[in-house]
Structure 1
Amino acid sequence: MSLADRHVTALMRQLASQDVVELVHPFAEWETLGALAYIAECYGFRYADVRHVGKEKTVHVTMVRDPDPRAVQRAAANAAAFPQAGAGGPVPGMYQGSLTPVPEAQPDVDLIATLIRYDALGAAANRKQLLTMSWGIPLVLVLLAALTGKFAVLLTLAALVPAFLLITLRVNETRRAKLAERLTAAGCTPVRDEQGRERYVRA
């Protein structure tokens, strides 16, 4: 069984028994996550959110069961059309035995992957948190320098840390802006969620 088949088998088991499914990929391959999310949506789920877990910041993508009648109908149609999905058989939108989208599914997979990447960048580099760290950490380092007398090392770090954090923030915002352009071009609408985060929803 190929790696792609193992991913699909694990996914189909979750889809059959759970209302909330998490897609986990330790190396954050956006195309793989997008393809798996697409398959989940073919079976009555919808993309909900993404988060980073642990020291390695592993990406966890949350899919939830979609109560919309169209999603229920889509799930039933795909279950009938692909009876061997998860058992080595074909799945909707992918070439047999792989997570490579067929041409007609590629735009939808790309869009889901872009939504995931946009949210993941926002989760990885929270602007307010980074700005707080950019003055909080140097303050602590200056206090440590005064207490220990190690001014050369600690004051150098106090100067470098905020520069690094602000550069990280800038790079992150630039990347998100490019992704936002793609999402807008695809007809997605910017919204604020209940936590105040800027996200995009599909039409």
Structure 2
Amino acid sequence: MNRAERRILALLRQLAERDFVVLSDVGGSPRRLAVLAYVAEQHGFRYAEAHGVGRALQIHLVRTEHADTRPPDSASVPGLRPGTLRPLPEAAPAVRLLRDRIELDALAEDLSVRARLVIMTACALFAGLFLLVSSWRAALAGFAALEAMFVGFLYLEVVRRRRLARRVHAAV
């Protein structure tokens, strides 16, 4: 039994035992979690929310009123290639929509403390290095350039979030 089949079987056991399931992926892959959420939807659950916990990404699934509580007998799931976490072409749009919703929910959270700490530390170190090597004018110019670069990255994140929100709202 490969890793994908083990993940699906573990998910199916949880679905049979609980009304509320939390799935997490240490690498923070929305694609893997979207496929697992698709599997859960096939068994009467619906996606509720997603959020980051450290380096992991977690999604919450809730049982619907018409869910089947019997445990499935195998790890084969309609809409997925056997033995993998890859959707077939007919299930790909549903998985893509779930992935977009998971990414949008995960991006809706504030910029993590770690990311802000990295930005502030890099700017301070860069300014201090320029002060040691050259004049205060060069340090100020270097600091401004680095700050503009970080603001650009943050703007790209906002643009990505807006694009995801448009796709999710258009699909719903």
TM-score norm. by structure 2 comes to 0.74
In the alignment, structure 1 segments of 5+ residues that lack a partner are: 189-203
Q: Which of 45, 57, 60 is the aligned partner of 1:59?
A: 57
Q: How does 1:147-162 map to 2 (within 5 A)?
A: 152=132, 159=144, 162=147
Matched, 1:119 2:117: no
Q: Distance in 2 between matches of 1:124 and 1:26?
A: 19
Deviations 1:148-178 (CA, angstroms, capped at 9, x unpaired)? xx9659x769657754542332121111122
The residue number in structure 2 matching 1:197 is none
Q: How does 1:139-178 map to 2 (within 5 A)?
A: 152=132, 159=144, 162-163=147-148, 165-178=150-163
Q: How does 1:26-175 map to 2 (within 5 A)?
A: 26-54=26-54, 57-66=55-64, 69=65, 72=66, 75-76=67-68, 83-85=72-74, 89-123=75-109, 125=111, 152=132, 159=144, 162-163=147-148, 165-175=150-160
Q: Distance in 2 between matches of 1:161 and 1:63?
A: 41
The CA deviation at 1:32 is 1.4
Q: Distance in 1 between matches of 2:9 and 2:162?
A: 35
Q: How does 1:177-192 map to 2 (within 5 A)?
A: 177-186=162-171, 188=172
Identity %: 36
In the alignment, structure 2 segments of 5+ residues that lack a partner are: 134-138
Deviates more, 1:95-104 or 1:31-40: 95-104
Q: Distance in 2 between matches of 1:125 and 1:167?
A: 14
Assess, with a 3 A threshold, how the Cα gap between structure 1 residues 18 and 177 changes in structure 2: closer, same or farther.
same
The CA deviation at 1:112 is 0.5
Q: Distance in 2 between matches of 1:125 and 1:113?
A: 20
Q: Is the 2:80–2:86 contact (alpha carbons within 8 Å) kept by the matching residues of 1? A: yes
Q: What's the C-alpha RMSD, in Å, of the aligned pairs?
A: 3.6
The residue number in structure 1 matching 2:136 is none
Count of aligned residue pairs for this structure pair: 163
* Corresponding letter in the other structure for 2:57: V
Q: Distance in 1 between matches of 2:53 and 2:77?
A: 29
TM-score norm. by structure 1 comes to 0.64
Q: Is the 1:50–1:120 contact (alpha carbons within 8 Å) kept by the matching residues of 2? A: yes
Assess, with a 3 A threshold, how the Cα gap between structure 1 residues 160 and 58 changes in structure 2: closer, same or farther.
farther
Assess, with a 3 A threshold, how the Cα gap between structure 1 residues 151 and 24 changes in structure 2: closer, same or farther.
same
The CA deviation at 1:42 is 1.6
